[in-house]
Amino acid sequence: MGPFGVTHDVRLPGMELFFSHVRLHGGPAPVRRFLPELVDLITSRQIDPGKVFDLDLPLDRAAEAYRAMDERRAIKVLLRP
């Protein structure tokens, strides 16, 4: 199991986190418990999970994509080559 959104080989600088007063919280996500039911609901078209990306930009506008997410104008940006 790995942290959601973080690669498995991530290393956290413990002393830096401690002295910067950063709090890091985590816990297990029971994804496997809900996944079979959710897949069935999606494939039977009882629910629509919606689209993943809400902004589509060319790769050379990556800085704008991050700005849009930071300013909450976008949730997930698709960057195209």
Domain extents in the chain: 49-81
∠ Cα 80 5 31 (to 5°): 115
- How much helix, strand and coil, in percent to the nearest 5, is found in the chain? 40, 10, 50
- pLDDT per residue, tens digit, the chain (81 aa), is 445 555 567 677 778 878 888 777 777 778 888 889 988 998 998 988 777 788 999 999 999 999 999 999 998 899 999
Four-residue CA torsion sign, 31, 37, 40, 42: negative
pTM for this model (two decimals) = 0.43
Q: Would you say 10 and 26 are in contact if contact means Cβ atoms under 8 Å apart? A: no
> Can you tell me the distance from the alpha carbon of 53 to that of 13, in angstroms, rounded to the nearest whole number?
32
